[in-house]
Amino acid sequence: MNRDYLPPSIGPELGRQALDAAADRNLYARGTRAPTLFEIDGIPVASLVEQFGSPLFVFSEHGLREKARRMREAFRSRYEDTNFAWSYKTNYLNAVCQVFHQEGWTAEVVSDFEYEKARKLGIPGKDIIFNGPYKSRSILELAISEGALIQIDNWDELGLIEELTRHLRKPLDIGIRVWLDAGIRPVWSKFGFAIESGEAGRAAERILKNPHLRLHTFHTHIGTYILDPNAYSVAATKLVALREQIFVEHQHLVPCLNLGGGFPSQSLLHGMEGPAERTIPPIEAYADAITEVLNRLPPKKRPQLRFESGRHLVDNAGYLLTSVVAIKGVRDPLTLNSNLTGRDYKEQTLLGEDARASYVLDAGINLLYTAAWYQIDALPSRSINAPLSTARLYGPLCMAIDVVRYSIDLPPLNVGEVITLYPVGAYNLSQSMQFISYRPAVVMIGANGKPEIIRTREVLDDVQRPERLPAHLNKMP
Ligand SMILES: Cc1ncc(COP(=O)(O)O)c(C=O)c1O
């Protein structure tokens, strides 16, 4: 063993972020300042709430376009024949979809509702990628008549499509979804045909034998928030191998490979240490991993590359402005209590340290479905010169699980204080529930710096319109 004394060396990294550097490296250390967010795209957060009310979703058009442009550049500069579709389910507000359509993104939909929405926004059927494990007969009939690219999920769907395309004079371009092991756990085996067992090859063969169908795409979506670019390299390699096998056996070169979505946003899962920029690979790392596989092919054999990303493009452009409506203490530390149940133990040790204060916000998990997995940041809208302590953030719902953050370091907050929850642009709006309270307004700050309402706050009629009261219930006793 070498016992020579080695003098400590001081690298530039040690000085990074000065006061907060220790907290970044040490789980138990605490930063001395709370991160704040004064404005979004130059507009003070407090003034947005004054003008449009609280809670309030805010999207930055600039943020959406910037992400789209960087992603396009990352891929097209490495592999020109790359195309993009916007994953509607991630956020199907018309204004958000339209920003991506203007940036050249087509539409990826997974239901009749999303299909109709994309058509209503002016996207022609031929520019729609239709995914999902269940597509009803009637929407398939429409999609077939409009030439959408249906990515078949299972044998029953293939049978139905064979039936519905029997009358076609010109073959319909079709894709199949496959699942594969890219080293990511869990493997998303719910969707598509298995590549490794040969099932995907058999589905491809059956399509190739059908004169009414033309096999256009092999598609896979290996999961969401994939932190390892290498997983995409594995997925691309497996799709290329399947394509080559089909070429050798049937002399048909499938024109397009679609690698789905799954690129992460700058957000952290519970239990992960920040800051996000240090943990999340940049989009260019994913572009390298994927295009290196395709660029190894002889130029004439290179497929068109497609993506249908959601989270990566929209999450960081979305903010939820909320207000503190009440301040409460929390119950005594459980460690002093002998009647500790398993559930108490879990709450205290897994979900957070002992919170010293708790704040009730006017936005809760009805609007923040992703709070169960992601550490949504809570950023005061003014600088508060006071020490941080561990706090808990409750939502306003009359249910105990309505907790936005079990444990977060915050300075003391006042009732009325405006807090920004961030990032929240992906999946929260499309998965939000009208439960107990109305869903809030949504504003987009335009590229011109002007905030405009893109969804009004719900009112009673929005919620009640589909209801019908039978005549005998329409009178008081
Ligand atoms: C088939 C398909 N494509 C694309 C996406 C978008 O994924 P992400 O938001 O991770 O980019 C999803 C979402 O799960 C999906 O199921």
- pLDDT tens for residues 401-431? 999 999 899 999 999 999 999 999 999 999 9
177 lines ligand 1 (CB under 6 A): no
CA–centroid distance, residue 314 to ligand 1 (Å): 12
Ligand 1 atom with minimal separation from the 261 CA? 11
82 lines ligand 1 (CB under 6 A): no
94 residue type, one letter: N
By alpha-carbon position, which residue is closest to atom 7 of ligand 1? 261
Instruction: State yes or no: pLDDT of 13 exceeds 50.
Output: no
The predicted structure's pLDDT at residue 30 = 55
67 lines ligand 1 (CB under 6 A): no
The predicted structure's pLDDT at residue 329 = 73
311 lines ligand 1 (CB under 6 A): yes
- pLDDT tens for residues 191-221? 999 999 999 999 999 999 999 999 999 999 9
Ligand 1 atom with minimal separation from the 309 CA? 11
The predicted structure's pLDDT at residue 16 = 42
Q: What is the mean pLDDT of residues 38-46?
A: 97
- pLDDT tens for residues 222-259? 999 999 999 999 999 999 999 999 999 999 999 999 99
260 lines ligand 1 (CB under 6 A): yes
CA–centroid distance, residue 386 to ligand 1 (Å): 42
The predicted structure's pLDDT at residue 342 = 66
Indicate left, alpha or beta for 329 from its phi (over 0: left) and psi (-120 to 50: alpha): beta
Indicate left, alpha or beta for 29 from its phi (over 0: left) and psi (-120 to 50: alpha): beta
- Torsion 308-370-234-78 (CA) sign: positive
Residue 194 buriedness (CB in 10 A; 0-12 / 13-18 / 19+): middle
Instruction: State yes or no: pLDDT of 92 exceeds 80.
Output: yes
Ligand 1 atom with minimal separation from the 427 CA? 9
By alpha-carbon position, which residue is closest to atom 16 of ligand 1? 221
264 lines ligand 1 (CB under 6 A): no
265 lines ligand 1 (CB under 6 A): no
Superfamily of domain covering 31-57+316-331+343-458: Lyase, Ornithine Decarboxylase; Chain A, domain 1 (2.40.37.10)
| Fold match between domain 31-57+316-331+343-458 and domain 92-309 | no
Instruction: State yes or no: pLDDT of 5 exceeds 70.
Output: no
| Higher pLDDT among residues 15 and 229, named by residue | 229
309 lines ligand 1 (CB under 6 A): yes
- Dihedral of the CA atoms 77, 79, 84, 89 (nearest 10)? -100
Fold of 92-309: TIM Barrel (3.20.20)
Name the residue ranges covered by the structural domains of the chain: 31-57+316-331+343-458, 92-309
Instruction: State yes or no: pLDDT of 131 exceeds 50.
Output: yes
Q: Say what percent of the chain tops pLDDT 90.
A: 81
308 lines ligand 1 (CB under 6 A): yes
Ligand 1 atom with minimal separation from the 225 CA? 10
151 lines ligand 1 (CB under 6 A): no
CB atoms within 10 A of CB 214: 16
The predicted structure's pLDDT at residue 341 = 67
221 lines ligand 1 (CB under 6 A): yes
> What tokens were used for 130?
């239709």
| Higher pLDDT among residues 432 and 388, named by residue | 432
CA–centroid distance, residue 262 to ligand 1 (Å): 6
131 lines ligand 1 (CB under 6 A): yes
Instruction: State yes or no: pLDDT of 389 exceeds 50.
Output: yes
Average pLDDT score over the chain:
91
The predicted structure's pLDDT at residue 335 = 53
The predicted structure's pLDDT at residue 390 = 86
By alpha-carbon position, which residue is closest to atom 3 of ligand 1? 260
- pLDDT tens for residues 357-368? 899 999 999 999
Report residue 64's pLDDT band, with 50, 70 and 90 as the boundaries.
Answer: very high
Report residue 15's pLDDT band, with 50, 70 and 90 as the boundaries.
Answer: very low
Report residue 17's pLDDT band, with 50, 70 and 90 as the boundaries.
Answer: very low
Per-residue burial over 302-340, b if 16 or more Cβ lie within 10 Å, else e, is: bbbbbbbbbbbbbbbbbbbbbbbbeeeeeeeebeeeeee
Instruction: State yes or no: pLDDT of 1 exceeds 60.
Output: no
CA–centroid distance, residue 88 to ligand 1 (Å): 9
The predicted structure's pLDDT at residue 330 = 62
By alpha-carbon position, which residue is closest to atom 14 of ligand 1? 224
The pick from 86, 87, 111 for probing ligand 1's pocket by mutation, whose C-beta has the most ligand atoms within 8 angstroms, reads 87
Instruction: State yes or no: pLDDT of 51 exceeds 80.
Output: yes
Q: What is the mean pLDDT of residues 171-183?
A: 97
CA–centroid distance, residue 86 to ligand 1 (Å): 9
The predicted structure's pLDDT at residue 19 = 44
CA–centroid distance, residue 337 to ligand 1 (Å): 45
87 lines ligand 1 (CB under 6 A): yes
Report residue 303's pLDDT band, with 50, 70 and 90 as the boundaries.
Answer: very high
55 lines ligand 1 (CB under 6 A): no
440 lines ligand 1 (CB under 6 A): no
Per-residue burial over 36-66, b if 16 or more Cβ lie within 10 Å, else e, is: ebeebbebebeebbeebebbbbbbbbbbbbe
Coil/strand/helix, residue 420 = strand
The predicted structure's pLDDT at residue 14 = 44
Coil/strand/helix, residue 212 = coil
